[in-house]
Chains A and B, each alone.
Chain A
């Protein structure tokens, strides 16, 4: 018996359309990045990468990502816990508000932070009086990166924790387990794959964030320049190979992230098959 829409012609058409689109829009640009980066040979690529400013940009980008992840982890788990385990007025509203960073353009987010914490901003005036500088410095970059990435983990956890319910946690407590023990031995093992998945997404976005960071960083070379900003700067300086070298690095991080994600999915599928 043939399923509806499953004629050989339709299938061939759809498969080839998908392949062509993937090649043109995804694969080709990726190849182009590496081709451009290596256009003048591995030696030039290496010189570009080991340039002092670029090295600092790599360091800053990774450091910001490394600080963002634990903050988002705590925030995401706490928020998912709050929304799925407690009933309180405004719960629905809170659940909607989690999505604000997704809905707002990153540039707008950056501008809001500048308005609030910049030298003449509402909070900024007070900060300035106390000689604390957040904007045009790494704390500002961290702040907007956290803003942009904070929904990822909570959004991974909420549907899972809703589906799993709180019965196992209740069971642990009737057996005498304390709150922290219950979290460590019951809640955490049940959500760990979703948590890891959320961390991977958070990391990918934190490393790649451009819009919000470009507003608050000031892009001072060797000080507040992140890798994505570095790409733009080098490109505007007509250093195409340099720009693509940094871009290739970002693409490499993205590919590693994708590999980690695929690995996790493969692992999850295998666990399903065993259970």
Chain B
């Protein structure tokens, strides 16, 4: 079921939580709403669910929410046919796992309610899917966070919703469980092909899980794109900075050379103050400067965890230390350690002026 949002805004009292936004979500898509806290992402999700109502007054064009062809703007939550997974699961603490999952089926009107046997079969099918059939008689307090999360997912799916909405689904879990559940949700999504929207403040989670990511800040939608486009072609500075670690290089350009203290870099930019942004993997480290690039740095910290080595760099000309990621092979070749003096070489850099976005490649080094 596709979702279309038109002119959805929200004020709480005098504070604006959401500027009127438009958003189209295709059938079967898994969309992540990504943003820092207070960006309006949870408000937007709750409006889609019907747990909050969008602003009515003050907008020239009325707010509309469509599920497929069905206008649900004024449809009550309980009739919207949504599944909602709450941030802290909100399991019914006085009910067993079985009763939690069965709840949505047992409260159906008598006419459409499945028989007891049918409910039982359906609940166990769902519990099997989330691999919890052996815990059907336990109570929520007796389960781990990851298990509670899966129960809440099974409970939401039991009523066969048109759309599945998840609020920070993995926020309260530890890193390893999070990874597993993420992968598992992705598989489940591919298998059942429901349309789903989830909220997260974790950029890695959003990029890994979503078909498309909606980046939000301060009640606005900053960009809607596939994870790849988003990462490679951020439309503005906020998106670029929010999606990963960023190194800043500020300086004065004169005759095609940017200077900042004793740092120099040949750039193809107009004269004046400029700021360049670099991702950690765009910083190459070498023992020698070149004629075009003279950026002396000192290694202040090294953490050889994961596929790459993270290196922290400091220098007089830097207001904030840089972060660089280098391959283990380079790490050994350069014999990196704290206190070592090296030269940074940008592979490429990014520059954002007020409105225009830019990705510029440096001269071949």
Contacts and interface: CB of A to CB of B under 8 A. Distances in A.
Interface residues of B, number: 27
Please report whether the interface of chain A is mostly helix, strand, loop or mixed according to DSSP.
helix
Contacts of B49: 174
Contact of B78 (A167, A173, A185, A275): A173
Contacts of B90: 167-168, 170-171
Contacts of B139: 275
Given A174-B77, A177-B103, A177-B107, A168 B92 contact: yes
A242 B289 CA distance: 108
B142 A174 contact: no
A170 B51 contact: yes
Interface in A53-104: none
Interface string B76-94: 0111001110101011111
A98 to B, nearest CB: 25
Interface of B: 49, 51, 77-79, 82-84, 86, 88, 90-94, 103-104, 107-108, 139, 141-142, 152, 155-156, 158-159
A9 interface: no
A171 B103 CA distance: 10
A190 interface: yes
A186 B257 CA distance: 68
A172 B142 CA distance: 21
A193 B193 CA distance: 43
A275 B86 contact: no
A178 interface: yes
Contacts of B88: 167
A176 interface: yes
A178 B83 contact: no
A189 interface: yes
Nearest to B165: A174
B159 to A, nearest CB: 6
Contacts of B79: 176
Given A167-B86, A174-B77, 15 more contacts: A167-B88, A168-B90, A170-B51, A171-B92, A172-B103, A172-B107, A174-B78, A175-B107, A176-B78, A177-B103, A177-B104, A178-B107, A185-B103, A185-B107, A190-B94
B93 A190 contact: yes
Given A174-B51, A176-B108, A181-B107, A275 B142 contact: yes
Nearest to B99: A185
9 contacts: A167-B88, A168-B90, A168-B93, A171-B152, A173-B77, A175-B159, A176-B107, A177-B104, A185-B107
A189 B94 CA distance: 7
B159 A176 contact: yes
Among A168, A171, A176, A181: residue with most chain B CB under 10 A = A176
A189 B91 CA distance: 13
B107 A171 contact: no
Nearest to A182: B107
The 5 closest A-B pairs by CB, nearest first: A175-B104, A167-B90, A174-B84, A177-B107, A171-B90
A190 B86 CA distance: 18
Among A168, A172, A175, A177: residue with most chain B CB under 10 A = A175
A176 B104 contact: yes
Among A171, A174, A178: residue with most chain B CB under 10 A = A174
Nearest to B46: A170
Nearest to B50: A174
A230 B142 CA distance: 54
Contacts of A171: 84, 86, 90-92, 152, 155
A172 B91 CA distance: 9
Among B92, B108, B142: residue with most chain A CB under 10 A = B92
